[in-house]
Amino acid sequence: MDRLNIAAPQAFLIEPLVRAALAEDLGRAGDLTTDTIVPKDARVRGLLNARKAGVVAGLGVATIAFRLLDPDAQIEVACADGTTVGANRPIATVSGRARALLTAERVALNFLCHLSGVATATREIVDAVAGYPARIACTRKTTPGLRALEKYAVRLGGGVNHRFGLDDGVLLKDNHIVVAGGIRAAIEKAKASLGHMVKVEVEVDHIDQLGAALAAGADAILLDNMTPAQMREAVAIVDGGAIVEASGRITAETAAEIAATGVDVISCGWITHSAPILDIGLDFEPI
């Protein structure tokens, strides 16, 4: 896959997030330290270095942060978004007004380290299932406000995106099925009410629910917390009649065993909600 062709969220949609993050850090009085100490006309070059190995994600966001404070800041990228960078290796260089770059530093890094952490966690589990057809998908368990960015980081890490929200697909869970009066009724009701571009996935806990789901024309079936053996049996029963997704606290350690069952998609919450940051530093030198 041509990693560089992965589309980042539109800049005009991300900029408000970066403005808000800068406003959150600058408060009313701004950067007391820098404004007091650093002359207005001083210039500086900063080197973004990975302190550990990982997948870079968020350089565009960091650039927006620097440019909101210095519209003429220059960024030279050594490792573009989606690249795996080694420990203690340079990622990019940013040059511009010293006050602006020192003031924007923390916000730029907070985005960059978090998103690279998500991409790195994704890459780890994607690599774990290499050789199997299963794809790694993220969930809606994302950080409030950062969903589009985190889902972009997942793509950079080699994963695919599940639903972006409650509005771009149907996922029938226990509660819905009970209310609707069974799997078949639930699927049919959804298909009758919604437009022809909406897919319907149904969550099943037991193998014996698969028949109803397939008969009603489910587009996808989510196997919830099943054992690998059960998953294998489910895959055989479905037999290509629907997409099969495995779910339930799957990690890099357990993913290969799951992938070996033949499921099409493995969804993981932790790559967005619990991935540690990728430690990236910004080292300055005057110019």
User: Which positions from 239 through 278 interact with its own copies, judged by CB under 8 A?
Assistant: 243, 245, 264-265, 270, 273-274, 276-277
Element holding 184 (H helix, E strand): helix 183-193
Closer residue to its own copies (CB): 194 or 236: 194
Closer residue to its own copies (CB): 50 or 68: 68
User: Mind giving me the DSSP string for 45-95?
Assistant: EEEEEESS-EE---HHHHHHHHHHH-TT-EEEESS-TT-EE-TTEEEEEEE
Minimum Å gap between C-beta 66 and its own copies is 12
What is residue 98's three-state secondary structure?
helix
Minimum Å gap between C-beta 84 and its own copies is 20
Q: Find the binder of its own copies among 180, 207, 237, 260 (CB under 8 A).
A: 180
Minimum Å gap between C-beta 108 and its own copies is 10
- C-alpha angle 143/145/146, rounded to 5°? 60
- Scan residues 150-179 and list those touching its own copies (CB under 8 A): 151, 160-173, 175-176, 178-179
At 55, give phi and psi (nearest 5°): -100, 125
- Rounded to an integer, what distance in angstroms lies between the CA atom of residue 211 and that of residue 249? 25
Residue 93, interface with its own copies (CB under 8 A)?
no
Q: Find the binder of its own copies among 97, 123, 135, 184 (CB under 8 A).
A: 135
User: Mind giving me the DSSP string for 131-178?
Assistant: TSS-EEEE-S---TT-HHHHHHHHHHTT-EE--SSTTSSEEE-HHHHH
Is-catalytic flag, 15?
no
Q: Find the binder of its own copies among 26, 75, 207, 237 (CB under 8 A).
A: 26
Minimum Å gap between C-beta 221 and its own copies is 11
Is-catalytic flag, 224?
yes
- Scan residues 27-86 and list those touching its own copies (CB under 8 A): 27-40, 42, 44, 68-69
Could you give the residue numbers annotated as active site? 106, 141, 173, 203, 224
